[in-house]
Amino acid sequence: MTEPLSLAQAADRLRTDHSLLLAAVDGLDGDALARDFATSAGPLGDFCASLHDLVAHVLMWDEINLAVLTEADRGRDHWSLAPAFETAETGRALNRAGVAAGRLLAADLLLDRLASTRAALLDQFAGYAEEDWRDRVGPLATRVFTVPGRPSFWHAALHLDAVPAGAR
């Protein structure tokens, strides 16, 4: 079971996770981002052959999770929560497709989307009251922002082997 985090703790982890990814790609041009780069595999395998791929992978996951929270705020379930999408096979297909789609984008566009999505997620988190987070949003957010079997609200850090020691 994943540890419950306060809204501030979850936002801090998300902010730190993105900062680790942004630090890994800082100053790199498109060619450097596309070079071979070994990432740690998640429970569904490894889909990233480069930092460009990792940005695309994390970005896809973040955009889906932002949509999950937005739909939940409107009283609806997002498509990704349907049992048919919660299988390992479908998860692998989504991961492969997200990385493949990211490969079609220029690095600067992909990084711009990452910054925009990061800001949107942090704005979304800032809009919740602590009580609403604890009682309604936090459990859903923790579920969708947790790589199975890993500490919550880390994604890029897991692939970069950079989860802070105290946060495991």
Residue 162 phi/psi, 5-degree rounding, is -130, 20
Rounded to an integer, what distance in angstroms lies between the CA atom of residue 38 and that of residue 4?
31
Domains along the sequence of the chain with CATH: 7-167 (1.20.120.450)
Q: Identify the pLDDT of residue 131.
A: 93
Question: Helices 7-25 and 51-73 sit at what angle, rounded to 10 degrees?
Answer: 150
3-state SS, residue 50: strand
Q: 168 forms bridges with which residues in the sheet?
A: none
Residues 148 and 4 sit within 8 Å (Cβ to Cβ): no
At residue 1, the pLDDT reads 44
143, amino acid identity: R
b/e burial code for range 45-69 (CB count within 10 A of at least 16 → b): eebbbbbbbbbbbbbbbbbbbbebb
Q: Are 166 and 156 in contact (CB under 8 A)?
A: no
- Residue 134, token pair as written in the block: 């604890």
The reported pLDDT for the residue numbered 162 is 87
With b meaning 16 or more CB within 10 Å and e meaning fewer, what string describes 112-138? ebbeebbeebeebbeebeeeebeeebb
Residues 84-141: tens digit of each pLDDT = 998 889 988 988 999 999 999 999 999 999 999 999 999 999 999 999 999 899 999 9
Residue 59 pLDDT > 50: yes
Does the structure show a pLDDT above 60 at 168?
no
